[in-house]
Amino acid sequence: MSLAVGVIGTGMIGQDHIRRLTRVLSGAEVVAVSDIDRTRAGQAAPAGAEVFDTPQALIRSDKVQAVLICSWGPAHEEQLLDCISVGKPVFCEKPMVTSEAAALKVIDAEVAFGRRLVQVGFMRRFDADYRRLKAVIDGGTLGLPLMYYSKHRNASVPEGLYTSDMPLNDTLVHDADISRWLLSDEIASVEVRLPRRSRQGGELRDPHLVLLHMASGAIVDVEISVNIAYGYDIRGEVSCEKGLAALPNRPAPVVSDQFGIRQAIPEDWRERFIEAYDQEFREWIVAAGQGTATGPSAWDGYAATLVADAALRAVTSGGREEIAMRDKPALYDTAAKVAAA
């Protein structure tokens, strides 16, 4: 039987995930949608799906078994808490929430419920290149990881909607999460340096150079650029005691013509991570069908939120901002038990 999914937020990524669940993957059906822009929700709704006036009504509907939250970050807290209150598995796009206080409320609610329900949209963990990179590091042949260079470059961001805090509380969260996961480490403190401002984004604070000091002593150096113009360019290289391991350039046809020999660069995240999003939803559909969640958890969402908060403080202080995590609840110690698809 198909998993009956209700989608909240039918903007760019909401529409892409609806396409994925409707036309690419099996095992799920989008039966409901909701957006504060009702017209957009109506246009994005697949045939037969009901358009709900409010996210609350969608979450409570008997026809919805599991929820997919693709609204703006600040709206996630209330929608997540609503899903947990009715015990429905929920996939929430990043950032899970936008403050430490909100993250703790989500964790407390899920722990009180007693089973994982929340999966956060850190899709890099499902990307085959990142998985192979992690396997090399975990294999230990290169020795301990010492430094990780994470380059996160967007061609452009929506003018007016994407504000100066967002490179740190919306975009950096991916690098924070992948650093913890790749290096099997925690982030202990954060520094931010602001280079010359790019004229591409007008008054937007861009780019950012962020240093993540890991608990082990390893250091992650992150470039966040959101108006790089030439495409969506994600790179990663881990420098270890006895060698380096790096993400490959994305496989793309090598074109030779009068302009030279070149490979295309993805336009945006939809193209670069298309297979990763597919895989993240394959795994979510199985887990949600069993009433639970897998992959990046509310704990991981909380950890990334702390990094975003610390990075924003570091912009103001100019110094190194410490991160203090609360003790990890047992619920997040082991992966949820999910039977194979």
Residues in the site for ligand NAD, rule: CB under 6 A? 8-14, 34-37, 40, 55, 70-73, 75, 93-94, 121, 123, 170, 269
- The one-character DSSP state at 51 is E
In 3D space, the residue among 124, 138, 139, 133 whose CA is nearest the CA of residue 176 turns out to be 124
Residue 103 and residue 296 in contact, taking contact as beta carbons nearer than 8 Å:
no
- Segment interacting with ligand ISE, rule: CB under 6 A, options 105-113, 167-175, 294-302, 329-337: 167-175
DSSP SS3 for 283: helix
- In whole angstroms, the minimum distance from the beta carbon of 168 to ligand ISE comes to 11
For residue 316, how far is the Cα from the chain centroid?
25
- In whole angstroms, the minimum distance from the beta carbon of 2 to ligand ISE comes to 27
Q: How many residues make contact with ligand ISE (CB under 6 A)?
A: 7
SS3 content of the chain, % helix, strand, coil (to 5): 40, 25, 40
Interacting residue with ligand ISE among 171, 225, 227, 279 (CB under 6 A): 171
55 binds, among ligand ISE, ligand NAD, none (CB under 5 to 8 A by kind): ligand NAD
CA distance readout (Å), 277 to 17, 84, 114, 121, 282: 8, 23, 27, 9, 9
265 binds, among ligand NAD, ligand ISE, none (CB under 5 to 8 A by kind): none
Residue 169 found at the interface with ligand ISE (CB under 6 A): no
Residue 91 found at the interface with ligand ISE (CB under 6 A): no
Interacting residue with ligand ISE among 154, 189, 225, 294 (CB under 6 A): 154
Paired tokens of 217: 């002593």
* Burial (0-12, 13-18, 19+ Cβ within 10 Å), 107: buried
In 3D space, the residue among 176, 178, 180 whose CA is nearest the CA of residue 192 turns out to be 176
Using CB positions, name the residue nearest to ligand NAD: 11
Q: Which is nearer to ligand NAD, 12 or 255 (CB)?
A: 12
Q: Which is nearer to ligand ISE, 109 or 166 (CB)?
A: 166
Q: Residues in the site for ligand ISE, rule: CB under 6 A?
A: 94, 154, 157, 170-171, 174, 269
